[in-house]
Structure 1
């Protein structure tokens, strides 16, 4: 599940760049990237003729790529999100809500405040996870315990997904994505049925259609099935009005549990102001270093 949780990050970005570089970008002149303000609709590129694929249309693909381009912009990103988790086993159902506030800077720096609150508990557990790109510190304020790991150790751990899909997506986005995915490139790829079909096939993307939520918000839904043998599926919900990524939904089975994860992006701020010590952790004199510190959302 941890692998699949990141499916929409480096894999999709890498394949998208490869497809664009091999096809559409060879047909258009180099242009300056168009900066699209967050949460504001951007003009749609001209699509002539209308290309389609069994997995989705050219218009669906344009929306998808514009949303990824918008998300990858800036030298740093601040996000606030709400992650709802449901886990079902034989005879038990576990639920938890995780509030995530993160600041990320490429390639590997982040500062994440994580707050767990289960339905049967009025008191939240809070953690800080801080990375300077080489070292990751996990700190629990109420017990004053902290764990020190290398970036690679944390990245491979079962807790790494709790920094949020929004943070992972941004950190895994290539720096040249905005320069590569210009409106001219999008128009060229959308006009070529082979390019449209190639994208859906190579990335394993399926456009499921549009759906409204309880608040009557309309979303375009894109789906990926796990290719590593697990019965999991990831859905990405994009606002067609603003071309912005709004939600990540993951369902699947792992270790005898049926899991359902939904991360809703509450706020996204490109290029936030960063303090000099944003990505550094300095323990207090009373803090205690420990050998293990779990971030389990379902227990203490």
Structure 2
């Protein structure tokens, strides 16, 4: 596994935003309401990071409710897209995600439904009454993968055998980091930030080639991941992708239909379908 999946995620975001950004109207003004105060950089707390990783992978199934913000800005482009996401993800590759996109001053669209049975992924958009089916592997390589929630996609990419080893809690901090690809030569940095009155310990990794920084916001008292963020400039476009985790529940209840998609009456199957609102 690549370090923190930084390269995969960053390239997915650039692929999503760059070719389509010119279609966004300049009137979609950038409005970020969560002010962040940056404090002095601090030494990297490896023990807290290892504890956070172990807690993140403790169970084999989670329901995550989160808010996603995607924004891009340069001289000719200025846009912000928001999404409300609820995803149940299971370590065997099964998941069910409901994604609702909103824009400032517009009514939310009906939620897009994305369901995986571990082998294939079905995408259904109720506004167009269209659905498409693709393989799990193809979906995992697509630009849409992170839209089910960066935290959920990150969880799904951890092999189940690796998750089980970490969940036992018998490894040293160094062994935990090495197991998921956080090698000693990885240039991790850390700082402390205050967001909406709450203090976080923030881990940062910058991929210099892509010009993007991947950040994980951890609540230090509980060693809980609360936010993931990718920011930086690529090809002249200032990019910010942030997922704020509102609630993450281990072992949510399932029904026989949770990971099964049945096309609604009147739905039309198409060759491909993007989750993106662009």
Q: TM-score, with normalisation over the residues of structure 1? A: 0.72
Instruction: Choose which of 36, 42, 55 in structure 2 pairs with 1:70.
Output: 55
**2:124 corresponds to:** 139
Q: Work out whether 1:87 is the aligned partner of 2:68.
A: no
Kindly tell me the number of residue pairs found equivalent between the two proteins.
240
CA distance in 1, matches of 2:164, 2:10: 24
Instruction: Choose which of 209, 230, 238 in structure 2 pairs with 1:250.
Output: 230
Instruction: Choose which of 204, 221, 227 in structure 2 pairs with 1:223.
Output: 204
Q: Deviations over 1:16-42 (max 9, x none)?
A: xxxxxxxxxxxxxxxxxxxxxxxxxxx
Q: 1:92 to 1:277 in 2, by over 3 A?
A: same
Structure 1 gap ranges (5+): 8-53
Kept after mapping to 2: 8 A contact 1:5/1:250: yes
Q: Which has the larger radius of gyration?
A: 1
Kept after mapping to 2: 8 A contact 1:130/1:137: yes
Q: 1:3 to 1:55 in 2, by over 3 A?
A: farther
CA distance in 2, matches of 1:6, 1:292: 21
Instruction: Choose which of 203, 207, 213 in structure 1 pairs with 2:186.
Output: 203
Q: What is the deviation of 1:5? A: 4.2
Kept after mapping to 2: 8 A contact 1:4/1:232: no
Q: What is the deviation of 1:158? A: 1.3
Instruction: Choose which of 86, 97, 106 in structure 1 pairs with 2:82.
Output: 97
Kept after mapping to 1: 8 A contact 2:95/2:115: yes
Q: Deviations over 1:38-64 (max 9, x none)?
A: xxxxxxxxxxxxxxxx9835xx11111
Q: 1:291 to 1:235 in 2, by over 3 A?
A: same
**2:9 corresponds to:** 4
**2:29 corresponds to:** none
Structure 2 gap ranges (5+): 1-5, 13-40
Kept after mapping to 2: 8 A contact 1:67/1:243: yes
* Equivalences for residues 31-50 of structure 1 within 5 A: none
Q: What is the deviation of 1:231? A: 0.8
CA distance in 2, matches of 1:67, 1:116: 29
Q: 1:125 to 1:276 in 2, by over 3 A?
A: closer
Q: Deviations over 1:226-257 (max 9, x none)?
A: 26x21111110000011100000101334653
* Equivalences for residues 1-300 of structure 1 within 5 A: 3-5=8-10, 56-57=43-44, 60-175=45-160, 176-177=162-163, 179-180=165-166, 185-186=171-172, 189=174, 201-206=184-189, 208-214=190-196, 216-226=197-207, 229-254=209-234, 256-297=236-277, 299=278
Q: 1:138 to 1:255 in 2, by over 3 A?
A: farther
* Secondary structure of 1:69 counterpart: helix
Kept after mapping to 2: 8 A contact 1:224/1:235: yes
